[in-house]
Structures are given as structure tokens and as C-alpha cells.
Amino acid sequence: MAGSSLFTASVPAQSKFSNLDLNSIGSTYAQQFGHGTTALIARVVHNLIYNAAPKQFYPELRILGMKTPDKITTDEFFYHEKAYGRDPIVATAIVAAGTSTQVVPVTPASTDVITVDTIVVYPNNQKATVTAVNKGANTITITAMTGQLLPGVSANDVLANLSSVEADGANSISQYFRATTIERYNFVQLFVKAIRFGKLELYKYMNAGTTDYISVNRKEMLDQHRIDLSNAYWNGDRGEVTLSNGAKAKTMGGVFPLMQAAGSFNIATSAANLSAAVENLALNTEFGAWGDTRYLYGANRHLLALSKQYRASLQRYYVGDKKAELYFEGIEMGSTRIVFVPMKRFEDSASFSPAWANRLILLDQESITPVIALEEEMGTTLDRRSGGTLNNFVDEWISATFSLKFNNPLASGWVDIL
């Protein structure tokens, strides 16, 4: 019939015949827009849990792992470092010029490293000879070369140690020497991490679970354990802590606190002067052979900025270029080769204080050796069914001992970016 339609009835949008209320229990759509849910519809859950943690997490552990760890038989160890054996003389007061002999007040340390019959060099490059050392008064007596008068001395002036000198026919030796060593030490720290599942809880995850939650937990436990090791490697304080049960435990000294204690060279700079600061840091920490490789660790935003500073004045692009090469992998300075190592975790506020996000650390990796006492261990505890315990749960755990030897921290240093 004219004007008629086969579809004369409409289904109400909110009736039981509508798809709008046919949502799984826990549906976000239903919660946000006020629609119904039903147990007749299962939640669609992807069976793999995506790992969204930053991936630039453990480069320092991989580099450290290239060296075989020293295995020791206790949890405290000492090691020795041979000092350079030649130290400058540091004046502590003003001494007038124009005399052939001067009594120069110096630091107590200076009287320990200088002997009589040593030729020293003044800041103006004039030479003279040490003729007396008074350790009690912390002074040295300096006599000018024949026909010369000595220059003036200011506080904090540094006199270099040129050489020994002896007269022909001498019947004694004034220049005795013995190698000096620096004793360093560290503690071995015990690390442990575990996950726990109740017996019924574990049964449900294994048989009724919708994701790989169990395997994700195991992997996350290992990742968090590695983060513990990494954090202690960088920033652990050597000392003792009190645990929740009142027990005392040793803690290891990490790279940065050991550098601070040793007085390693450091610079604070603006981002605009970053390249000059890094070069200055490298030149002031050169203790190795010509061309030795060292590693510069820092957040990638700063390594990128450093790369762009070097590229900015010389980089040229052409019509056919399809990408901008902004990043260098390192710096070749001739005397030092520096490799860039991006450390995303320096920006991780859960592991480091805010200053680390703006810190570049230059390490002489050859001077750092990992130390262990016990090998890394993993295991699973017994439950009731396995016997030997009344536990109605299972713990999966990992434990390790870890520390480091840091020989010559003065060959490393850091830049703080303001």
C-alpha cells in the first residue's frame, strides 16, 4: 500500500534488545557512559602485558660485566693504589722578595714530600734549592742560585719539584725515595628480592588467568634486582644501616660518593657551555695512556645537546637529504677518546635525586672492578605440599653480593648542568 513500510516498529535504544547494555563486568565504556553490564559477556584481555619501562636501563652493568669480578672471601676488603710519587709544594703565607734565602711556610703535607737538595721552580719559572726542611714548624728554607735573588711568594703559590742535585765527591745522599700508596676499602653489600604468591592465588593465576602475569612478575623481580645493583653502583654510601628487625648491615660505596670522597674533578656549567666543560673535565682527569677510552654517562637530552653543539657550526644539509644527523657517538680528543652512554635512569626520580637528571659522569672504566663474595642465587621456598614447612605460600627469590674496587677516582669526574 502506498505510504506503508515493512519497518513499522522501532526498537528502543535502551531496551534489553540493545547492544548498549551488553558490556562485560568492569567495562570502562559502561562506567563512563552509564550503561549496563552482564556476566554473559567476557572481558577481552590481551594475553601479554606490555612492558612500558624505559629500555635504556643497564648500559653501565653491561660495560661493567665485561670485566671478570674479583671474588673475595669476606664482606670487607682493602686495596692499594700507588700514588704518583711527586707532589708540588704549596706555600701558606706571603714571603718578601729580594733575598738570597727564604724561609717559606708551607702546608704540612708539603714537608712530607720534599727533601733537601731538591731544585724547586717558582711560579715565575725561577729555580732555587731547598736547603732545610722543618717539619715541626711547617717551613722550608730555599736558597737562590748563585748570583740571583729570590722572587716573592704569596699564599697558595705552588712551587714545582724539578729534580735532585748532588755535588761531586759527596759522602752522603739527601734524596731518598720510597713509593707511597693509598689504601682504599669498601664493603660488600647483600641484596635480595622476592615475590610471594599464596597457594590458591598461584593456582588461580596459572589455571584461570587471562594474561602472562606470573612470568611478568618473575621478569620484573629480576629487573628490579638489577636496578638495585645499578643504583648502589652509582650512588651507594659505604657504611652501616639498621634494618626493621634491629639487625645491622654493611652497605657498599658507589661510584659517585667515592669520587666525592677522593676529590675528583667536577664542573658546574650552563647548557650553553657544555662542550667546553666536558673537554675541560676530560683534560683535568687524564691519568691513562695517550688515547685511552673513557665513558660519559648522562641523560640522552644532554648528550644530544652536546652533539648538536659540535655539529652546529659545521653541519650542512643538501636538497636530497632526508634526515638530519644530530647525534655523535663520542668525542675523539687525541689524548682521550670519550664514548657517549645514554642513561635514561638518571632522570628516574624513583631511583635518583633531581640533580642526577642534569649530571654527566665521565668514568675511567678500567679503574673500576666489580667485587662479589657469594655467587648470585635464585630459588623457590617449600610450601606445605612440598614438605618441611607449614607455609601456605611460595616465595621466589634472588639474592646477590656486590661491591666495587675504584682505583684512582681522580681519573674520573662529573659535570653538573645548571
pLDDT of res. 17: 67
Hunting for cell 672492578 — which residue is that? 369
Cβ-contact 281, 267 below 8 angstroms: yes
341, containing H or E segment:
strand 336-342
- Whether the predicted pLDDT of 315 surpasses 80: no
Each residue's pLDDT tens digit, 71-91: 989 899 898 877 777 888 899
Where in the chain are the domains? Answer: 17-46, 59-81+184-316+324-417, 89-178
pLDDT reading at 40 higher than 80: no
- pLDDT band for 401, please (50, 70, 90 cuts): very high
Residue 8 has φ and ψ, to the nearest 5°, of -95, -15
What confidence tens digit (pLDDT) does each residue in 201-257 have?
A: 888 888 888 878 888 888 888 888 888 999 999 999 999 999 999 999 999 999 999
Note the pLDDT of residue 84. Answer: 73
Q: Binning pLDDT at 50, 70 and 90, where does residue 105 land?
A: very high
pLDDT number for residue 200? 87
Task: Give residue 172's pLDDT.
Answer: 86
| pLDDT, tens digit (0-9, with 9 covering 90-100), for 133-167 | 999 999 999 999 999 999 999 999 999 999 989 88
What is the arithmetic mean of pLDDT over 5-23? Answer: 64
Q: Which CATH class is domain 59-81+184-316+324-417?
A: alpha beta
Same fold, 59-81+184-316+324-417 and 89-178: no
Class of domain 89-178: mainly beta
Predicted local distance difference test score (pLDDT) of residue 36 = 86
